[in-house]
Structure 1
Amino acid sequence: MILGAIADDLTGATDLSLILSRNGMRVVQVIGVPDTLDTVAQDADAVVIALKSRTNPAAEAIEMSLAAARALQAAGAKQLFFKYCSTFDSTDEGNIGPVAAALMEHLGTATTIACPSFPENGRTVYKGHLFVFDQLISDSPMKDHPLTPMRDPNLVSVLSRQTDRPVRLVAHETVRRGAAAIEAAIAQEPGICIVDAISDEDLRAIGRAVAELPLVTGGSAVAMGLPDVYREKGWITPAAPGEGFAAPEGRGVILAGSCSAMTRRQIAAAEKAGVHMLRLDALEIASGATTPEAVVAFVEAASQRSDLPPLVYSSADPAVVAQAQDKLGRMRAGEVVEELLASVAASLAARGFTRFISAGGETSGAVVAALGTSALRIGPEIDPGVPWVSALDADRPLCLALKSGNFGGEDFFLKAWEMLA
């Protein structure tokens, strides 16, 4: 194993795994920190550990991330990568800054970078400011995210409020001069460098510039330049993207807990295509009016009436989400939905369902845990940042599409299903 990665949620880990696989690395994704990585690391160039730490208290996120770092180092990782969302999901209390600083201290390094840019999905960093397509992130729907609202687009400012480590900018004027200029700028002073990137060419140059750093932090796309350097060093040989993936036959379901604007558009597209749908309400779940048994019964019946997988969703606009949060609490409003969808997934798998499409990082983490798998093989790409994956250690053959809330085109659910037809 060459690269050991720590991701703060499940779909982010899958996103990073796909980037590495697409660029010719053999990748295994692990959910949670295992006792040992010896078995999976033997056949992998990269191991990506998926945590559920994005919205945990900072101290918990640090503890989990350090445990993952130690496991990856014990398995021989030459470099560590801390992966977070390309929309820099965090608050003034953390968790990006505190975890990055803790990993720097653990590794004994004074310098790293922070680059969430993912141009293929419309996320770019310019003059230290994060954009979503043509909008500053503070003008995008992310400003109303129920857990990590992004109302300051200046990442130097955002990260400076999260850590005592110095935070500075490596501007695009430097980035466009190439890897050597970027490397020199990073090495000038200790601290965390926000690095501008507006194109894949920028990201490949950044990857080359940071290949010798003990720690890299950022969105998944900044890792795209690392495999080329590893090959030049003779550490890895090329692998075909999606090598070894096979989808089992069987019925499927779509489970959506994300409330992002894109997921809501994907739900609307599925409804227009005739997908049978059931909308969940957090307050009705909390009161017991909606039960896992009732949802499973709906899915079973709907799957008999259509060749398209039924869709169960809790996605709603920010005003509806706020009402549930006011009555149940910010965290509990999401947890009741995740717990129900996890229970539904486990029941459906026991009834022979083998194909699961999940929208939302927290939802996907809960679903995967309920399905009893902790290691995933990366399969074919559905949309940028989202592949199909197969479970390596579940009781029965399973394949999953684990989508971050903001990712995928409007036809994502339909496109994912058609790929397995």
Structure 2
Amino acid sequence: MPTLGAIADDFTGATDLATMLVARGYRTVVTVGPDAVAGDHAVAAADAVVVALKSRTAPVSEAVASSLGALRALRAAGCERFYFKYCSTFDSTPQGNIGPVTDALLNAVDERRAVVVPAFPGTGRTVLDGRLLVHGEPLDESPMRHHPLTPMRDSDVGRLLAPQTTHPVRHVGLETVRSGAEALKAALDDPALPDALVVVDAAENEDLRTISAATLHHRLVTGAAGLALGLTGPRPGASRARAASRPGDPAVVLSGSASAATRAQVAHGRAHLPHRKLDIAALRADLDASVTELVGFARDCWQDDPRRPPLIYAVDDLRDLDQDDATPVASVLVEQALAACAVRLVGAGARRLLVAGGETSGAVITALGVRTLTIGSPIAPGVTWATAARGTGHADGEVDVALKSGNFGDTDIFTEAWSVLA
């Protein structure tokens, strides 16, 4: 029976955290939404359950409601401790959703305060003096300042969080963290500290282990996946899922992300893979016809050379974001098109899908009717293969999926990810 329950605000974040938990010795299952928790045999046999939501950019009320629904489902499954997982670049707007969801979860578990730990040094995210750095650059000077949905225009986590929460926001610096777990625990549990959200500095993995050790008695922690580094699961060497597909099975890359890392990956992919870029105007005019053309292109590629998965992508140049079509409305079209492509391509035989972008991943997994993801072979920090179990009525069965956050992965991930899929 699971005792640790996690709520992830997007699908790539869910697999990111689940990968960390498996590495720490937890038998871990990712469920797509709270409804998939109840009555699932894999959930009952797990040590940890991560509920994947598509709440990062949802309206605040919707994000809060879905997060509380996930909490109720996890409690019913037996979980006693909870982890609210958001992106290590703190993707949010002035309205939320990190603050409102944290407030609601704190109230539901009857806790007074929670740590806020977006740091994940393994992926280049550190917090110093309360400021979030991305590969050494302040967040607001990194490519995240151009994000089409959640442009990050401040690197001070406290200032980002304050407008979103009803709690005071406090900060604990690196000096206290480096004093050890007991000193940090005493600082966090100080009776003089008001009910608060506490931003905690972390620059190295050892700092995250210290924070985790100091908060083991907290019923709720919040942060990126790196905070799981300090957890010790009950089953060292917890096994990973075997691939559902076989080498040579049809594969495809679906990229909806506009991040700088993904644009570099797209550029590399274009040099090595057959590719097709989404035409927003054509999608707006006739989405179904555009999807039909893209699916036909991919199927032709499989026949020509099954060893080279086709790449279907949305953005390859920063100038794409300067156009009138680089709007949330256009992003919805991209999600709809790539999700529709995924459904038709799986129906046509695809058994390996690499999906880039959190919103795109959510759209694809939802459209495919996936209920659970079982973690498989890791590809890169924060990116893993997973076996996707689809709901009843899907004759296509299980497929292997890799859900890649826009900012994660090496430049050659679109060509090299397949080599680790056993």
Q: Give the TM-score normalised by the residue count of structure 2.
A: 0.94
Superposed displacement of residue 241, structure 1: 4.7
> 2:369 pairs with 359, 367, 372, which one?
372
Amino acid across the alignment from 1:351: A
Instruction: Kindly report the root-mean-square deviation, in angstroms, between the aligned alpha carbons of the 2 structures.
Output: 1.5
**Inter-partner Cα distance in structure 2 for 1:283 and 1:111:** 48
| Matched residue SS, 2:56 | coil
**Inter-partner Cα distance in structure 2 for 1:317 and 1:106:** 44
**2:223 — aligned with what?**
218
| Matched residue SS, 1:348 | helix
**1:321 — aligned with what?**
321
Task: Give the 5 Å matches for 1:260-339.
Answer: 260-272=259-271, 274-288=272-286, 291-306=290-305, 307-325=307-325, 330-339=327-336
**1:20 — aligned with what?**
21
Task: Give the 5 Å matches for 1:13-412.
Answer: 13-34=14-35, 36-39=37-40, 40-188=42-190, 189=193, 190-226=195-231, 228=232, 231=233, 236-242=234-240, 244-249=241-246, 250-272=249-271, 274-288=272-286, 291-306=290-305, 307-325=307-325, 330-394=327-391, 395=394, 396-412=397-413
The answer to whether the 8 Å contact 2:268/2:412 transfers is: yes
**Inter-partner Cα distance in structure 2 for 1:245 and 1:297:** 30
**Inter-partner Cα distance in structure 2 for 1:105 and 1:99:** 10
The answer to whether the 8 Å contact 1:117/1:221 transfers is: yes
The answer to whether the 8 Å contact 1:282/1:324 transfers is: no
Superposed displacement of residue 100, structure 1: 0.3
Amino acid across the alignment from 1:398: V
CA deviation profile, 1:272-291 (whole Å, cap 9, x unmatched): 2x200000122221112761
| Matched residue SS, 1:152 | coil
Amino acid across the alignment from 2:21: L
Amino acid across the alignment from 2:213: R
**Inter-partner Cα distance in structure 2 for 1:266 and 1:137:** 21
Structure 1 residues 241, 413: CA separation in 2 closer, same or farther (over 3 Å shift)? farther
| Matched residue SS, 2:235 | coil
The answer to whether the 8 Å contact 2:132/2:156 transfers is: yes
Structure 1 residues 87, 36: CA separation in 2 closer, same or farther (over 3 Å shift)? closer
Number of residue pairs aligned between Structure 1 and Structure 2 = 409
The answer to whether the 8 Å contact 1:241/1:380 transfers is: no
Does structure 1 residue 7 correspond to structure 2 residue 19? no
**Inter-partner Cα distance in structure 1 for 2:342 and 2:114:** 39
**Inter-partner Cα distance in structure 2 for 1:35 and 1:257:** 26
| Matched residue SS, 1:237 | coil
The answer to whether the 8 Å contact 1:26/1:239 transfers is: no
**Inter-partner Cα distance in structure 1 for 2:99 and 2:276:** 39
Any gaps of 5 or more consecutive residues in structure 2? none
| Matched residue SS, 1:334 | helix
**Inter-partner Cα distance in structure 1 for 2:214 and 2:406:** 31
Superposed displacement of residue 23, structure 1: 1.2
**Inter-partner Cα distance in structure 2 for 1:378 and 1:324:** 39
**Inter-partner Cα distance in structure 1 for 2:101 and 2:339:** 28
Superposed displacement of residue 315, structure 1: 1.6
Does structure 1 residue 418 correspond to structure 2 residue 415? no
The answer to whether the 8 Å contact 1:171/1:195 transfers is: yes
Amino acid across the alignment from 2:260: A
**Inter-partner Cα distance in structure 2 for 1:266 and 1:246:** 24
Please, which moves more after superposition, 27-36 or 332-341? 27-36
| Matched residue SS, 1:34 | helix
| Matched residue SS, 1:246 | coil
Amino acid across the alignment from 2:321: V
**Inter-partner Cα distance in structure 2 for 1:301 and 1:36:** 39
